[in-house]
Amino acid sequence: MTNITKIFLVLNSGSSSEKFSLYEGEDEVCSLYFEGIEEDGKKKFICTITRADGSEEVVNKKWDSLDVAFKEAKAIFEKEGFINDAHPLDGILVRVVAAGKYFSKHHIVDETTMKELAKVQVTNPLHVPGTERGIKNAKETFKGVPVLIMSDSEALTKESRKDTEYALPKGIIDEFDLGRWGAHGASYGYMMGRIPELGLLEKRMVVCHLGSGCSITALVDGEPAYTSMGETPLEGLMSSTRTGSIDPTIGALLGEKLGAAEAIKLMNKESGLQAMAGSNDMREIIAGAEEGVDGAVRAFNLFIDGVAGKIGEFAAKMGGLDAIVFTATIGERSIPVRGAIISKLEFMGFKIKNDVALDKSKGFANAAADGSKPIYIIPTNEAAYMIKRAGELIDEIQK
């Protein structure tokens, strides 16, 4: 049995930010967010503390570099009394969005981990540097505390999956360790536990994780059968700054013109909703679309068509669809997005009520209109899933 009172620090290392979330069991007790600001023409870094009651406080201090974030975070957590000799950290968790067999599992960081990270820089030049930085700083600052990499595809790499391969020569597959590993695994892993826990399990379901990044996974009897993301999160749905699936020739042409790393950056960070509508905030895009702003209208329509089309594709592959689940920021909160998607799926037996709010006491809402198949809204909790799996891994090692 996993000890739910373990204390974990969950890291989120961005290209110009660091977030530290401290958990006791599955309860977040405090988070620190270091981000850059412009001041007198120079870049400075500030830290915001968010406590369990939701209150926020900006630390009365500024730094010239993000390099100090780990040392300062340790000092703040100790000053606040969250970690000390009586309440030491049990582990530090680093989510890894990286492809390949090694990264389809969770691991306690060792020399092999760092060698494997170096190998996947080719296909993951955006995510891996932040991961390496986070691991290095964590080990230097919190000496003796286990650092664990939490795979973002582990929950999806099961024998039940039917879409794990690419039609490429075997030599190329083996050389680059290519596969449709999928991503948002922590969210889907949580959902695969939460849906039956709530008594909502149907034979054929799709879970739509719609947030800054967007993906869809089809479940058959609660196990993953198909997922929209592939070797990297770029494959599949268009999202806030990602193209989603496009003609591979375009990627090759961009690589030839810009170089591989810059082409990957453009398709991941400078495309998607941002490129079409000038904003990656779905609320602003919806408002623009309602006012008839051309870019917003086109972006919204392409986004909705992409999600509805992928749901239809998975329904065809499963031979039918019994329930739809919406989760993540947009999926949980955006009534217009849910309504527009479901309006295209009425021929499959789905019809939505657009005034349904999430009932937190139940942990879910059913937005289905009378006579419709279920349309569930279920909040995800990726950190809870990672913490549970990390606790199990540490318990196994300590046996």
Within a 10 A sphere around the Cβ of 121, how many other Cβ atoms?
15
Catalytic, out of 53, 90, 152, 177: 152
What Rg do the C-alpha atoms of the chain give, in angstroms?
21
Beta strand 27-39 pairing with 365-366: unpaired
Within a 10 A sphere around the Cβ of 111, how many other Cβ atoms?
7
Within a 10 A sphere around the Cβ of 356, how many other Cβ atoms?
16
DSSP H or E run through 13: strand 7-13
The secondary structure of 172-208 as a DSSP string is HHHHHT-----S-HHHHHHHHHHHHHTT---SEEEEE
Whether 110 sits among the annotated catalytic residues: the reply is no
The secondary structure of 307-353 as a DSSP string is HHHHHHHHHHHHT---EEEEEHHHHHH-HHHHHHHHHT-GGGT--B-
**Largest Cα–Cα distance of the chain, in whole Å?**
62
Q: Is 280 helix (H, G, I), strand (E, B) or coil?
A: coil
Active site residues: 152
